[in-house]
Chain A
Amino acid sequence: MTRRAFLPVLVVVGALACVPLVVHSDVVLNFLVTALLLTLAGQGWNLLGGYGGQYSFGHAAFFGTGAYATAILQTRYGLNAWPAFTFGIAAGAGVGAAIGALTFPSGLRGSYFALVTLAFAEVLRILASVAPVTGAGVGILVKLDPGIHALQFSSRAASYWFILSLVAAALVVNRLIEGSRFGAWLVAVREGEAAAQALGVDPTRVKLTAMTASAALTAAAGCFYVQYFLFIDAPIAYGPWISVEALLASIIGGVGTVFGPLLGALMVKTLGEAAKLVTGDAPGLDLMLYGIVLIVVVWIAPRGVAGIGERCRAWFARGSLGAGDTAA
């Protein structure tokens, strides 16, 4: 792949990296950290949903697994944060592979796939709310131990750079996939599974690979959540909020695009903050707004913000060509 393909990623990441140098407000940095956390979760969803066309309503299953694995390995087994973090990602990916291995060979897709993923997330949530290993109803508190050895950062800027590095890695992976054979196969499966099969694409294997990678990314977001907030419980880990927000970020920002989740996450979080400004911390308003935005986006701009950008570009291009030449 040409180096030019990564230029936009480098520019964006570079610009974002400079932010803590000019912004010193902890409130703003915290906002950005949560936005990047959502970006990472959304990047995971986007890989399977945007590129692969398989809409999951249960990505919380991977977020929560990553989070709990990281927390449990540190608090119960005294494992160092870094390997715990890595294991968390692997655990999330494993759950993704397991769910995929169960659902894809059966040919489940569309609404049924969404339903099954929802069911799996719910099962995990119920289990986590009663099992002793996850702290049951109380949850798990990770001991405060600021320092890079424990993957905890005393300065917001450092946390920001850490999550940014994860997001950057995901952006690179995303770009790599876009320019690879796997990526071509993935979107082919999305656009027409039968036609793809006729061209030698194995839909089950492609979807399974996408699901595993997707789960790994969202699990990483879960692992980061634990390291940043130092607390996890069942409704946070496996609750519908993260499934909805990750999905929403990708759709608003632009499904199947590299920067979609980033744009979308920023917008979703901004919306949430705006809602809080208007009505204080009343629970439910932010999600309700998200629901409204989701419907509006589906109605007006199904390809999200990035889609609007594309449409503008296409409109300009067509204008400059004069009468379009479409016959072959």
Chain B
Amino acid sequence: MQLSILFPAVVNGILNGALYALIAFGLTLVYGVLHIINFAHGTLLTAALFAAFFLYRSLGLDPYVALLLLTPAFFLIGYALQRFVIGPVSRGSDSNILLVTLGLAVIIENGLLFAFRGDTRTVDLPYSFAVVPFAGLFISVPRLVGFAGAVVVALLLWLLLTLTDTGKAIRAVAKEKLGAQLSGIDVAHIYALTFGLGTACVAVAACLLIPTYYVNPHVGNAFVLIAFTTVVLGGMGSILGALIGGLFVGLVESVCGLYLGESLGQIGIFTMFILVLLLRPSGLLGARA
């Protein structure tokens, strides 16, 4: 394989991978703290994409500006979902949580389908196709911004978790829920907070994605398994792991796409996902699952 073909694919893969990582942050955070696999994660991304799209359509709001609006909005949505729907309805039962998040996924995706039909929409921004020269290639500016955004978010999350009191409370609940409760931490609140953080990440990802991507109700599906693969690869609950995992997944998809054609590039990811799940020693799988 010629370097001139491989190199752009690699760069492309890394840029995509950063966005996969951003999407995966929320998932891995929720798993690490609540120990649940949020099946609604992909559809929340779709919802955020639609939100960004309509903000642009109706208010002319640039996605990078909409980001400032949508991030807190989706944080609240995520908080409310966990605090008032998922938590109370599932009453802590693992199989119930599974079903509730699946139910939410189905509701959101099909709600969007019903409200906005299945047509694919795109956003055309003046800088959608802007490129910047780098090492003999032309890198898409929005993609580069996406990459930067992912790294910034990762950093912010890390800072939040290690330096702030809230972050410490989150980590306490993740490690030892009962002990945290006994120390006076409001676990339901922390759970909802974490979920909200995860959803906020997804909103950021949506705003960074939208200049170069398309919007339709099924987009979330495409990202769900990619996000899961990222999280499983990088280790459930690890932000850094999700970052590295995302980059790796992006790479694999890009390179596989070269050999197998674009639609089958996804197969490379899923196969990897299945293999990782099967081959990981049972000790790392996590007790709750």
Q: Which residues of A pack against B, CB within 8 Å? A: 53, 55, 57, 102-103, 106-112, 114-116, 118-120, 122-123, 126-127, 129-130, 240, 244, 247, 251, 279, 282-288, 290-292, 294-295, 298-299, 302
Q: Say yes or no for B240: interface residue by CB 8 A criterion.
A: no
Which of B37, B110, B274, B288 contacts A285 (CB under 8 A)?
B110
How far is B102's CA from A112's CA once the two chains are assembled, in angstroms?
Answer: 14
Q: Find out whether the CB atom of A285 lies under 8 angstroms from the CB atom of B273.
A: no
Which of B90, B107, B112, B271 contacts A292 (CB under 8 A)?
B107
Q: A123-B270, A126-B266, A284-B217 are in contact. Are A298 and B99 (CB under 8 A)?
A: yes
How far is B112's CA from A302's CA once the two chains are assembled, in angstroms?
Answer: 27
- A contact residues around B261 at 8 Å (CB): 130
Q: Say yes or no for B263: interface residue by CB 8 A criterion.
A: yes
Sample 5 A-B pairs with CB under 8 A, ordered by A number: A103-B278, A119-B225, A285-B114, A288-B106, A302-B93
How far is B90's CA from A122's CA once the two chains are assembled, in angstroms?
Answer: 27
Chain B positions 15-64 with a Cβ under 8 Å from a chain A Cβ? 36-37, 39
How far is B117's CA from A114's CA once the two chains are assembled, in angstroms?
Answer: 28
Q: Find out whether the CB atom of A122 lies under 8 angstroms from the CB atom of B270.
A: yes
- B contact residues around A298 at 8 Å (CB): 89-90, 96, 99-100, 103
Q: Which residues of B pack against A, CB within 8 Å? A: 36-37, 39, 85, 88-90, 93-96, 98-100, 102-107, 109-114, 117-118, 217, 221, 225, 228, 261, 263-264, 266-267, 270-271, 273-274, 277-280, 282, 285, 288-289
How far is B106's CA from A118's CA once the two chains are assembled, in angstroms?
Answer: 14
Which of A102, A111, A122 contacts B36 (CB under 8 A)?
A111
How far is B173's CA from A156's CA once the two chains are assembled, in angstroms?
Answer: 58
How far is B271's CA from A139's CA once the two chains are assembled, in angstroms?
Answer: 24
Of all chain B residues, which has the CB nearest A302? B96
Which of B114, B263, B285 contacts A129 (CB under 8 A)?
B263
How far is B94's CA from A108's CA once the two chains are assembled, in angstroms?
Answer: 14
Which of A107, A244, A284 contacts B285 (CB under 8 A)?
A107
Of all chain A residues, which has the CB nearest B111? A288
- A contact residues around B88 at 8 Å (CB): 299
Which of B112, B217, B267, B280 contacts A126 (CB under 8 A)?
B267
- B contact residues around A129 at 8 Å (CB): 263
Q: Closest Cβ of chain A: how far from B120's Cβ, in Å?
A: 14
Q: Find out whether the CB atom of A57 lies under 8 angstroms from the CB atom of B102.
A: yes
Q: Closest Cβ of chain A: how far from B142's Cβ, in Å?
A: 27
Of all chain B residues, which has the CB nearest A235? B218
Q: Find out whether the CB atom of A283 lies under 8 angstroms from the CB atom of B103.
A: no
Q: Closest Cβ of chain A: how far from B23's Cβ, in Å?
A: 16
Of all chain A residues, which has the CB nearest B288? A110
How far is B116's CA from A284's CA once the two chains are assembled, in angstroms?
Answer: 10
Q: A106-B282, A116-B277, A287-B106 are in contact. Are A111 and B289 (CB under 8 A)?
A: yes
Given A240-B221, A287-B109, A295-B107, 12 additional A-B pairs, CB 8 A: A53-B95, A106-B280, A120-B274, A130-B261, A279-B114, A283-B118, A284-B113, A288-B110, A288-B111, A291-B106, A298-B99, A299-B89
Q: Closest Cβ of chain A: how far from B199's Cβ, in Å?
A: 18
Which of A55, A107, A120, A287 contacts B98 (CB under 8 A)?
A55
Q: Find out whether the CB atom of B278 lies under 8 angstroms from the CB atom of A126.
A: no
How far is B274's CA from A295's CA once the two chains are assembled, in angstroms?
Answer: 28
Of all chain B residues, which has the CB nearest A287? B110
How far is B102's CA from A111's CA once the two chains are assembled, in angstroms?
Answer: 11
Q: Closest Cβ of chain B: how far from A123's Cβ, in Å?
A: 5
- A contact residues around B107 at 8 Å (CB): 288, 291-292, 295
How far is B85's CA from A298's CA once the two chains are assembled, in angstroms?
Answer: 11
Q: Find out whether the CB atom of B278 lies under 8 angstroms from the CB atom of A294.
A: no
Q: Find out whether the CB atom of A291 lies under 8 angstroms from the CB atom of B266.
A: no
Q: A123-B267, A251-B99 are in contact. Are A284 and B289 (CB under 8 A)?
A: no
Of all chain B residues, which has the CB nearest A53? B95
Q: Closest Cβ of chain A: how far from B62's Cβ, in Å?
A: 29
Of all chain B residues, which has the CB nearest A111? B37
How far is B280's CA from A173's CA once the two chains are assembled, in angstroms?
Answer: 36
- B contact residues around A102 at 8 Å (CB): 274, 278
Q: Closest Cβ of chain A: how far from B197's Cβ, in Å?
A: 20
Q: Which among A119, A244, A290 has the greatest number of chain B C-beta atoms within 10 A?
A: A119
How far is B277's CA from A109's CA once the two chains are assembled, in angstroms?
Answer: 11
How far is B93's CA from A251's CA once the two chains are assembled, in angstroms?
Answer: 15
How far is B111's CA from A284's CA once the two chains are assembled, in angstroms?
Answer: 6
Q: Find out whether the CB atom of A118 lies under 8 angstroms from the CB atom of B99.
A: no
How far is B264's CA from A244's CA once the two chains are assembled, in angstroms?
Answer: 25
Q: Closest Cβ of chain B: how far from A252's Cβ, in Å?
A: 11
- A contact residues around B277 at 8 Å (CB): 103, 106, 108, 112, 115-116, 119
Which of B103, B113, B271 contacts A123 (CB under 8 A)?
B271
Q: A106-B278, A108-B285 are in contact. Are A294 and B98 (CB under 8 A)?
A: no
Of all chain A residues, which has the CB nearest B275? A102
Cβ-closest 9 pairs across A and B: A284-B113, A291-B106, A291-B107, A284-B114, A288-B110, A294-B103, A284-B110, A111-B37, A287-B110
